[in-house]
Structure 1
Amino acid sequence: MKQLLILPFLAMPAFADCPANPDIADAADALLEQAQAAPNEGAARGISGQLWELWATAPDEQAQVLLDRGMSARASYNFVEALDAFDRLTEYCPDYAEGYNQRAFVNFLRQDFALALVDLDRALERSPRHVAAISGKALTLMGLGRDEEAQDVLREAVDLNPWISERSLWSNHWAKSYR
């Protein structure tokens, strides 16, 4: 009988529920405004770093450990471990955009563009002005051979932050009509 009482606890997930994401929208919007007004790329680089700090701040310590573990594994090209960490992160915190963005980046590096695109769309559903996810989506669309769509998405990213490094991929035709 004691064994039957233990069974429900064994079936419980290893993690409790993920807390709500911190509300970073106002801070991110303010940083994007600063990036748009930045006088040069050097000034904008520091602002971009501050944006990354916002995006890479997970909802709690457990989520942060998974995010950091996945990013470290990705940096070491250990894609299996990185995907495992990001899978666990997105299961635990399904509303946290950066988990999907990071998993998309791993799949992009693996050249699995279709899977990357699915996760980028998920990230953007949760954080529509996530410039890194938007520019990642543009690169992913290029990888899929959907260049015209990629240019439209890249323009969206450049509109938010005119200093992103991917701006050099924006075709001259599109850039001229933008000015």
Structure 2
Amino acid sequence: MKQFAIASILLLATTVAARSEDCPVAPDHSADVSGVIAQIQQAENEQAARALNNQLWELWTDAPDESAQAVLDRGMTRRNAWDLLGAIEDFDKLITYCPSYAEGYNQRAFAHYLRQDFQAALPDLDKAIELSPNHVAAISGRALTLLGLQRVDEAREALSQALELNPWLSERHLMAPGGPLAPPGEDI
């Protein structure tokens, strides 16, 4: 029985490794992302920044291949329909198949966040940011998650980092006087 369990674990590990080797490298959009962020930083108003932000989402959600794109799209559709467990299941599959694709982690974190499972969301956000350091949505999501965990100073720091990249984020109001992330002394 013990040998069967060990063999099953080895088979599963081999299958996961083989599957992740099948995923091509995600398209490198880092230069395009940096260019769009530079445009956002120069935007004259929130509406102009929002249109540019949509371009970022197009880049971030450009999956490595058609299979990964289908799973990502299905997971996002399920999340939008509030089938959060189904979405997490799809994002688990995407991460297993494409472990170096940042958006899989970001989307799974968002589903966990919506379930208010902040502990589960945080490692996924950290991984998304590790893979895509200028992923503004993951950085601001990290700030919201840290706020959900009542780690206010860390949340403030993360949101400041996100706002350096995109000063038009709607979350900027959290740092306004009276907001939950207002700098100390400005929260009253």
What TM-score, normalized by structure 2, do the two folds share?
0.84
In the alignment, is residue 174 of structure 1 matched against residue 179 of structure 2?
A: no
Structure-1 residue corresponding to 2:74: 69
Change (3 A) 1:53 1:12: same
Q: Distance in 1 between matches of 2:62 and 2:32?
A: 13
Structure-2 residue corresponding to 1:110: 115
How far did 1:12 drift?
4.8
Q: Distance in 1 between matches of 2:163 and 2:184?
A: 10
Structure 2: which amino acid aligns with 1:91?
Answer: T
Structure-2 residue corresponding to 1:58: 63
How far did 1:80 drift?
1.7
5+ long unaligned stretches in structure 1: 1-7
Structure-2 residue corresponding to 1:3: none
5+ long unaligned stretches in structure 2: 1-10
Q: Distance in 1 between matches of 2:15 and 2:167?
A: 47
How far did 1:128 drift?
0.7
C-alpha contact (below 8 Å) 1:35/1:47 kept by paired residues: yes
Q: Which runs of 4+ in 1 moved over 6 A?
A: none
C-alpha contact (below 8 Å) 1:35/1:161 kept by paired residues: yes
Structure-2 residue corresponding to 1:95: 100
C-alpha contact (below 8 Å) 1:38/1:44 kept by paired residues: yes
How far did 1:17 drift?
1.0
How far did 1:175 drift?
10
SS in 2 for 1:123: helix
How many residues matched? 168
Structure-2 residue corresponding to 1:123: 128
Write the deviation string for residues 53-83 of structure 1: whole angstroms up to 9, x where unpaired: 0001100000000100000000001012101
C-alpha contact (below 8 Å) 1:74/1:106 kept by paired residues: yes
In the alignment, is residue 18 of structure 1 matched against residue 20 of structure 2?
A: no
Computed over aligned residues only, the root mean square deviation of the Cα atoms, in angstroms, reads 2.0
Q: Distance in 1 between matches of 2:138 and 2:185?
A: 24
Structure-1 residue corresponding to 2:84: 79
C-alpha contact (below 8 Å) 1:32/1:160 kept by paired residues: yes
C-alpha contact (below 8 Å) 1:71/1:82 kept by paired residues: yes
Q: Distance in 2 between matches of 1:34 and 1:75?
A: 29
Of 114, 139, 148, the match for 1:134? 139
SS in 2 for 1:53: helix
How far did 1:174 drift?
3.3
C-alpha contact (below 8 Å) 1:151/1:171 kept by paired residues: no
SS in 1 for 2:123: helix
SS in 1 for 2:79: helix
How far did 1:148 drift?
1.1
Structure 1: which amino acid aligns with 2:131?
Answer: R
Q: Distance in 2 between matches of 1:75 and 1:163?
A: 24
